[in-house]
Amino acid sequence: MPAQLNPDARRDLPSAPADSDTRRAAPRTRWVPVEQLSAMARALLSDDLGGRDVVPQHVADRVSAQAAEWIDEGFTEDTVRLWKDADVPPAAAAYLARRGVDPRVLDLPAGVFPGAAPVALRLAIASGRLPVERAYELLVITGEHTPPRQPGGTGPADEPSAPPTGAPPPRPVAPVIFSHAPIDPAPRRRAAPEQDQH
């Protein structure tokens, strides 16, 4: 801003037009009673509405659209309560729920961003950095989730049948995805090299 030559000089500010039509009034918020929302939309709302029984129209519209997505994935108002705070898309939640995954495991740290600190698994899924299918595989590999048994079968639902009994059991794989991956209970020892004795 240029320096004022005469600091005591009066500054005339442009006056606002006298016409009241030129001023814009803020749009009034339209409120929707919570009881008018579907049961699924009510289930997706926060448990604490601050004592109100109404929500703004834009919130009602958003939560109704989300309710339709959750219903399309097979959730009900009872089953969505477990997953609504998981912060993953409904399709990802449905994929995991069909496989019996507990939504609490989505808070486990996952190292999916190179050079960055691990983030919650749910954030890695929601950001698209980790496909939900891969996230599920990692949960199974690390032992954080045990797949449900197939009806009438002997093995887990998404795994091939067990190896032949003559083969040694596979060694558990623990990738560096979770900070508390299981430790191999029987560490392998390296054999000392044989020395030539003359």
Eight-state DSSP code of residue 172: P
What pLDDT is attached to residue 116? 83
pLDDT tens-digit readout, 27-76: 788 999 999 999 999 999 987 788 888 999 999 999 999 999 999 999 99
pLDDT tens-digit readout, 115-169: 888 889 999 999 998 999 999 999 999 888 888 876 655 544 444 444 444 545 5
User: Is 91's pLDDT higher than 80?
Assistant: yes
Average predicted confidence (pLDDT) for the chain:
76
* Mean pLDDT of the 96-112 span: 91
Of the candidates 122, 142, 146, the one whose C-alpha atom is nearest the C-alpha of residue 132 is 122
Of the candidates 156, 153, 158, 111, the one whose C-alpha atom is nearest the C-alpha of residue 130 is 111
* Whole-structure pTM value: 0.61
CA–CA distance, 198 with 196 (Å, rounded to integer): 6
Residue 124: which residues within 8 A CB-CB, separation 6 or more? 110, 112, 113, 130, 135
pLDDT tens-digit readout, 161-194: 444 445 455 444 444 455 554 555 555 555 555 6
The Cβ of residue 83 has, within 10 Å, a number of other Cβ atoms equal to 21
Burial class (CB in 10 A: 0-12, 13-18, 19+), 96: buried
Question: Are 31 and 55 within 8 A, CB to CB?
Answer: yes
